[in-house]
Amino acid sequence: MDVVRQGRRERSYPLDMDATEDAASRRPAPHRGMAVHSEASSTATAAPGVHLRLLTVGGAVATGAVVTSAVLELGTTHWGIALVALPLLVAAAVVAWLAYPALFWRAALAVGLLGLAIAFGGVVAWSDGATWSDVLHVGTAAAALAASLLVVVEVFRRAPTPLASARDYLTLTKPRIMTLLLVTGAAGMFVGAQGVPPLGLFVVAMTGLALACGGASALNHVLDRDIDVLMGSRTRERPVASGRVTPAQALEFGLFLSALSFALLASAVNLLTAVLALVGNLFYVVVYTRWLKRATPQNIVIGGAAGAVPPLVGYAAATGDLALPALWLFLIVFLWTPPHFWALALMIKNAYAAAGIPMLPVVRGDRETARQILLYSIALVAFTVAVGFWLGPVYTAAAVVLGGILVALAVLLRRDLSRARAQVLFHYSLAYLALLFVAAAVDPLLT
């Protein structure tokens, strides 16, 4: 516990962008607030990056389309376009707030005016002959367009900050983690559709989910850059921690992907799917990364809810609502996360201790961690078998076989606390979840 307390004192938490590594101590410089621009460059000289340019231009174009579709009274199309414009404007405003304060009030004004336009549009939709609301609806949308164009003008005044390498941007999205999340999301679609979902819908939904996962991961890189430099060479070489990608660039990229995800899912799939993806994104970034990870050894127990959202996204994309099978898939991932992540924590316990992160092995020791892994594994397998009534016989058979192996590996780890045992359990847990969800997806096709 002393190591954890020391790490907490030496580590700083706020999301600012001026943290730099002290080469002598290998500790990040103290954070000094929520501002994310470097103190070495004022807001008058800091140049927004390409992703912020894309956000502002996309937001302005979409807002212009909102105005046009309102004048032409295009109905459903009009509201679909609004669901594209709003997240782009909101994302640009958040980037401005955190990294480019000189842009913030223009960007916030555009968001506020478009929000008013949507509100007045709701009055029009529910009232007959509401002429004044028609005028205000179109007028505030037009004002939002003007405000968004002011942001575009300001963003394009200077040459943008050069892009980092494509490989670094890909790394920001954590593609290995994303792959597993997409497998669970795709299985949710198959379970919801009770068969093969329409190909076009499947592609759009998985693309939107991938954008949400990638955006959340990029923001995780921004928030964790201070501890990444303390956790060894693997994390120290991550794009933001190493300085190859600036925090402002990663922030823009993460919010750009997140905004695209919401816009795509809300306009081309359904609003529930978009909201679920956004909630998962926010829970992972704000609740888990920003708070729980650094505050409690139960961080991954509660934070596991973020990684359990993709099946809900897939199910909602296929059906337009949620039902018990979607909840069962969510709870499977939720129960799977602690034993999976604690196995990893046993493997890199010293790295977490060096960064002052209160993971269970650091706070409670290896033996207690192995005990908790076994208990959660038993609970997970029991639950996966119990919900076989809803998910089918093929799935149930897979749950029994795969779960038996998982519990056996957890028992072996309880007896032998070596890193090698933890490593075997960790890698098997990845295959376990993927194969279990493949079985859930295949079951409707075979029964």
pLDDT, averaged in runs of 10, over the chain (447 residues): 41 37 37 42 61 95 90 77 94 95 94 90 53 76 94 89 92 96 98 96 98 97 94 90 94 97 96 96 94 91 94 98 97 97 95 93 95 98 97 97 98 96 97 98 93
Q: Please state the pTM of the whole predicted model.
A: 0.88
State which amino acid sits at residue 181: L
Q: Which residues contact 219 (CB under 8 A, 6 or more apart)?
A: 250, 251, 254, 255, 258, 285, 289
pLDDT value at residue 142 = 92
